Structure 1
Amino acid sequence: MTRHFALGNGKMLVNLDDRGMIRDVYYPYVGQWNHVGGYPFRIGIWTDGQFSWLTESVWEVNRCRYVTHSLVTDISLKHEVWQLEIEMQAGVHQRDCIFLNGLKLINHGSKQRNIRLYFHQDLSIDESEVGDTAAYYPDLHSLFHYKKNRYFMFNGNQSGLGMNEYSTGIKRFHQAEGTWRDAENGKLSCNPIAQGSVDSAIAFHVEVEAGQSAQVHYWFSAGSQLDEVVALDQYVRENRPGALLDRIRIYWQKWSSKCEMDAGDLEPSLLRLYRQSLLLVRTQINTNGAIVAANDSEILAYNRDHYSYMWPRDGALIAHAMSQAGYHGTIVPFFHFCARHMHPSGYLHHKYNPDGTIGSSWHPYIQNGEKQLPIQEDETALVLHVLWKDYERHKVIELPQSLYKILIRKAAAFLETYWLKDLSLPYPSYDLWEERYGIHTFTCAAVYAGLLAASNFCNLFGDLPSSEQFRERAEEVQNGIIKHLWNEREQRFARGLIQIEGTWKQDLTPESSIIGLYLFEVLPVNDSRLIQTIDQLRSQLQVNTDIGGIARYSGDSYFLSGDLSDRVPGNPWIICTLWFAMWDMEVADSLESLRQTKEHLHWTVRHALSSDVLPEQLHPYEGTPLSVAPLTWSHATYLMAVHTYIRRYQELSSSITEDI
């Protein structure tokens, strides 16, 4: 089930589906741990002797979006036969680990209704169903679940009154399906405690007049001990849950409007996705600096791993987009995270868990009998590149000064020495897609940019010899790219070099990431070799269906839907499509040609979910989301494309004014 909503504050992340069901609860880090074991927190209705879960198809989804420019949901479901509608506005408190959901029950019928609203809690604390406890807490008339140092307290009210029923029980063990079954007869058993593999449910009874509505609020708090969740629960009741939801909405609306900009001629739909992308990226950033790739546990149905890691490359490019948008303060912890967890030799690992420990990997330390570093060198290089771009933009010198010894110099020394002298290119590593070991054009471009950034920082802090040393090495890499990765016969750059029987051979597979030569400014945009390369790649990687878009590379089978063909070289990726969009914007020579590139942005809007969530990739024939959603990198790349369009709009408008 696709995650239509991500709601978080850097310490807790709650994902919902299009019906408002909780699907993931991450705490105390965004991405670690997920305390929901793949089963939804069900919401059910009992009225007139009948019961229905909102997961059932009789409930039609009327609206599925965020409240404008916020991290509060706006969901509407309607049961036509019952003439009953439910509106939900849910959010996570901007500071504290509290989830709130305000539900409005609208009776469209002609008679008064007694409605019982049921909330089901299905936790697997610390990602295990073993050893959990669910218990009624009489002091607050609430329920809580706990294991070790994880506590979750559930409560709610309607018309100032608390819950009418509760129960705890055993789930998915022997013959017990779970307490949610207990709700289906319209009455909970009030069992006060259960231990092991457990779940719970609470209920609220409301009378709703014909043509009228009633409000119910539901919330839970998370903490490391009982006293903490008790205090948070009291905070909600004392400050009123409805008022807190209003504060959440106002906070995020102000946060997302912090850096107003001249948007040129961009339409409201494009700017709406821009603002929502800022917010969705923010939900994936931990307070400790870890920027997580994606937190959609549905991926576990296809792979015994997930995307809840920080890849330094993804993190760097996401930080770059947020820096462009003016959110320097938001990304400062990311660079400190990288400094804390960098290997003593000066490189960053493949990926990290949100708490800073090293993540899972499939890159070996030995291959064909030879030792190798299991890294992707572009990840180290791009952190330096983005840090320099952030300094250029915001001129906050304290940040690079604090990182100069512990990050900048260490990473620069590694990049300079990790290279093959006879090729003037970086030593082999894994590509950005984590699939191939070799010397890759994208990686080489990133290393070039990282070395230039190091040179600039050394110059900034007065170390001129080191500045010159790193600049010379960057230029050597640039020359190595031109000499060894350009293919004269094909008139384009290769994807990279692979070693066959001791000899380096060009890999000429059409590959979208070769556009890194433009993204990292290895060559100017008017370089004929770059132009010819990108023109060829576009024709070779275009998905020629009604969906369109650009594939990662020719023959990409990851999440492939259907067979590979000339029409479908691979599934269309949001990132890759927007890379080529940025190129088109960059080379546009008039406002008229620039305006035509907006179609790429509109394409992205059309293929977002109704909640503006962007997936990793799309079904090439149906346009439905594939893999994870939201993918943080997709949203960041959309932000970068909008920034590119606005910059070019201003440049071209200025040139017209000068001509006049």
Structure 2
Amino acid sequence: MSSYLEKKPYLVDAVVGNSRFLASLLHTGRIVRFWWPHVDFPQHADTLRSGIRLAGHERTSWFDGTGDGWNHSSAYVPKTNIFSVTAESGSIPVKVQSETYAVPGEDLLILDYQLTNTSDQAISFSFSFYSSIAVAESPFYQTTQFHHGSDSIVHFRHDHYFAVSSANVCAKYQAGHAWDNANSGSLNGDDIQMASDSAMDWSFDNVAPGQTVRHTVYLAAAHKLDDAAALLGKAKEIGIDAWRESTSRYWIDFVATASSCPINRPDLQELYERSVLTMKLMSDEKTGSIIAAPEFDERFSVCGGYAYCWGRDAAFITTALDKAGLLDMSTRFYEWTLTAQDSDGAWQQRHYHDGSIAPSWGLQIDEGSSILWGMYQHYLALPANSREEFLKLVWDAVRSGAEFLTSSINESNGLPIASKDLWEEREGQHTYSSAAVYAGLKAAASFAGLVRESELEAKWAGIADGISKQIVSLCWNEEQGVFYRGVQLTVDKYKYEQAANAGLPVSEIVDGKGYSRYRLGFDPIVDVSLLGISVPFDVVSPDNRQAVLTADAVERALTVPGVGGIKRYEDDNYIGGNPWILTTLWLAQYRARNGQVSEAEKLLEWSVEHRTSSGLLPEQVDKNSGETAWVVPLTWSHAMFILTVHLIADARNAESSHAQNEPSAQILQ
């Protein structure tokens, strides 16, 4: 079992954390990944296992798996980020109830177990905990050591120390190469090895029928050995009941600081609360950065990774946080953006928590544009007495960011230069990206007006208006009644030649090194991102003919037969081309903004029905089975849910207000 970064599942069932720790779990309660001291990097878990070995039995039964007939039921404790699991087996007479959580404000992860004898006679058993920790995702220079003073196993490498212990005194231990012996119950007492794994056993003797014993495993993290040992001592001294109460109270109080779901329906309120709790876990305590999702594809075997901060995602997320009344989290994020901006004013495609550039495919111009747009949305959401301070905080970044955008306009057609699209799959002058630049420059112009920079205000607003005119003219496909996805799409030579032979507009550009770049004049693929032209970027209003026709084309072309939901674009094949939660909610937002409330509610209903069993929103739903298909949880999905319920509530209120203000038939007569 001991191996560097054991192959892990892509899909998980739960996340717990405290904005320092972040851990992802299966429905069995097994932790498969954990991050510390930041939520994005580094990840340390190879594998962590929990098991029981009955007295007289030759091997350990790992109850966090499905062997030996173990069945599991799991759920979050309401209004908290505490994950609870019950495990039972027809062949093992012990019911295990566990809770896993990170203590807010502490570098402490808790796995708390209550073990009940379900037989009609007394039993004795050992509790086994196996930990293989590949510190900082590295196979090199790992050391595992048993510390007698703290009765703990410590995994360490460089300045990362992870100490595992319990309030109960262990009966056996083994540092290094422990998996086989953990299975057989013959831990050999080795004190130290240059290896990544270890195991500990605790004994429970003569547990009476129906009796419950409690066993808590503490995992303390620190940058020094003494600090890890001290934190374990503190954990044991304070005790599990106090830790559990303070953690529960913290999350309940956090939920209470957020606004309530604006639609009075229990399931929506529950998902609303789960959404704000999830977004908190994705926000790094020390930096304010917000990640798209906990990483699940660390080898980049299927995708390019998700545990990064995208300015685009975060602009939607912070707008949702503002709607939910969590303004401080948004402010912290925009403070972080100042650390991630390039010297020329650009923001790159994605970043680590410390603002450094993450692995990238190149410039994606909607990222920085979205940040500028989001900054202004946040400014408007702030109370009046906080706006001036925020304006001073961001103004220099706004000016630099806007100037970068103004220098990035293609003089030949008035649209922003070619860059990667929001899905990071193709290069061109994308219509959504152009709409984002329009909105970013409009936001910057509004900021300029606030600081009385009238020349900049006029300049940026004028360039934005020029982009708007080009979008509604150059990017409009009248024949199909929908916006083009973009213009000047970069393609390979084969597609270029096909298009040229078909008489379509194409061009070949030879760069300074003699390389040819091939471009199609127009990209006609229907893409859900075209909704962004009206919602949220307001290039055209939702009731504008072009917006109405485009939304109808999106629903017609992208609704998935059978299972329902909206996929990203017509020929999407990523993970099989499934419907996404956020894309379905995006169309719901458009319908709500356009006063089509019942249509919006149906799309919302579909998204709610496809949350996971633990109440999280994934990225995708399988197009055949309707089951969760990819990424759990996706922060953007949760943000779109919050934005959607607010827009639907606003639309309902507008309908009600309109009905109340309608003159009665008698008056009209």
TM over 0.5: yes
Aligned to 1:346: 345
Give 1:60 deviation, angstroms: 4.1
Aligned to 1:366: none
**Does the 8 A contact of 2:79 with 2:251 survive in 1?**
yes
Aligned-partner residue type, residue 363 of structure 2: I
Q: Which whole-Å deviations, capped at 9, do the CAs of 1:383-432 have from their partners, x for residues lacking one?
A: 01111111111233245323344311000111122102332211111100
**Does the 8 A contact of 1:381 with 1:450 survive in 2?**
yes
Q: Which whole-Å deviations, capped at 9, do the CAs of 1:92-146 have from their partners, x for residues lacking one?
A: 1111110011111122211112121111111111111211111111111111111
Give 1:328 deviation, angstroms: 1.0
The whole-number CA distance in structure 2 between the counterparts of 1:486 and 1:103 is 61
2:643 corresponds to 1:640:
yes
The whole-number CA distance in structure 2 between the counterparts of 1:303 and 1:420 is 34
Aligned to 1:289: 288
**Does the 8 A contact of 1:41 with 1:122 survive in 2?**
yes
Give the ranges of 4+ consecutive aligned residues of structure 1 lying more than 6 Å apart after TM superposition: none
Q: Secondary structure at the match of 2:36?
A: strand
Q: How does 1:355-504 map to 2 (within 5 A)?
A: 355-361=354-360, 363=361, 374-395=362-383, 396-499=386-489, 500-502=506-508
Aligned to 1:611: 614
Give 1:542 deviation, angstroms: 0.7
Higher mean C-alpha displacement, 54-63 vs 606-615: 54-63
Aligned to 2:234: 235
Give 1:599 deviation, angstroms: 3.1
Match of 1:650 among 641, 650, 653: 653
The whole-number CA distance in structure 2 between the counterparts of 1:351 and 1:77 is 40
2:208 corresponds to 1:206:
no
Give 1:164 deviation, angstroms: 2.3
2:154 corresponds to 1:144:
yes
2:303 corresponds to 1:300:
no
Q: Which runs of 5+ in 2 are unaligned?
A: 1-8, 490-505, 509-518, 665-669
Aligned-partner residue type, residue 62 of structure 2: W
Aligned to 2:173: 166
Q: Secondary structure at the match of 1:111?
A: coil
Give 1:556 deviation, angstroms: 1.0
Give 1:595 deviation, angstroms: 4.8
Higher mean C-alpha displacement, 625-634 vs 476-485: 625-634
Match of 1:102 among 112, 116, 122: 112
**Does the 8 A contact of 2:263 with 2:645 survive in 1?**
no
The whole-number CA distance in structure 2 between the counterparts of 1:305 and 1:458 is 37
The whole-number CA distance in structure 2 between the counterparts of 1:298 and 1:437 is 24
The whole-number CA distance in structure 1 between the counterparts of 2:374 and 2:53 is 54
Aligned to 1:20: 29
**Does the 8 A contact of 2:365 with 2:420 survive in 1?**
yes
2:51 corresponds to 1:44:
yes
Aligned-partner residue type, residue 271 of structure 1: Q
Q: Which whole-Å deviations, capped at 9, do the CAs of 1:30-71 have from their partners, x for residues lacking one?
A: 11001124xx31111111433311213444444221100110
Aligned to 1:85: 95
The whole-number CA distance in structure 2 between the counterparts of 1:91 and 1:77 is 17
Q: Which whole-Å deviations, capped at 9, do the CAs of 1:166-185 have from their partners, x for residues lacking one?
A: 21113xxxxxxxx1321222
2:573 corresponds to 1:573:
no
Question: What TM-score, normalized to structure 2?
Answer: 0.89
Give 1:262 deviation, angstroms: 6.1
**Does the 8 A contact of 1:321 with 1:640 survive in 2?**
yes
Question: What TM-score, normalized to structure 1?
Answer: 0.90
**Does the 8 A contact of 1:102 with 1:215 survive in 2?**
yes
Q: Secondary structure at the match of 1:300?
A: coil
Aligned residues with identical type, % of pairs: 27
**Does the 8 A contact of 2:591 with 2:599 survive in 1?**
no
**Does the 8 A contact of 2:27 with 2:72 survive in 1?**
no
The whole-number CA distance in structure 2 between the counterparts of 1:264 and 1:277 is 15
Aligned-partner residue type, residue 629 of structure 1: V
Aligned to 2:629: 626
Q: Which whole-Å deviations, capped at 9, do the CAs of 1:279-325 have from their partners, x for residues lacking one?
A: 11111111202211122324637348521111221122212211211
2:31 corresponds to 1:32:
no
Aligned to 1:585: 592
Q: Secondary structure at the match of 1:166?
A: strand
The whole-number CA distance in structure 2 between the counterparts of 1:479 and 1:399 is 35
Q: Which runs of 5+ in 1 are unaligned?
A: 171-178, 364-373, 561-569
Aligned CA distance change for structure 1 residues 515 and 185 (closer, same or farther; 3 Å):
same
Aligned to 1:367: none
Q: Secondary structure at the match of 1:526?
A: coil
Give 1:596 deviation, angstroms: 5.5
**Does the 8 A contact of 2:408 with 2:417 survive in 1?**
yes
The whole-number CA distance in structure 1 between the counterparts of 2:588 and 2:634 is 18
Aligned CA distance change for structure 1 residues 304 and 135 (closer, same or farther; 3 Å):
farther
The whole-number CA distance in structure 2 between the counterparts of 1:454 and 1:239 is 51
Aligned-partner residue type, residue 602 of structure 1: E
Q: Secondary structure at the match of 1:438?
A: strand
Give 1:165 deviation, angstroms: 2.1
**Does the 8 A contact of 2:275 with 2:642 survive in 1?**
yes
The whole-number CA distance in structure 2 between the counterparts of 1:232 and 1:595 is 54
Cα root mean square deviation, aligned = 1.8
The whole-number CA distance in structure 1 between the counterparts of 2:352 and 2:66 is 36
Q: Secondary structure at the match of 2:87?
A: strand
Aligned-partner residue type, residue 559 of structure 2: Q
Q: Which whole-Å deviations, capped at 9, do the CAs of 1:252-293 have from their partners, x for residues lacking one?
A: 11101212336234x211211111111111111112022111
Give 1:598 deviation, angstroms: 2.9
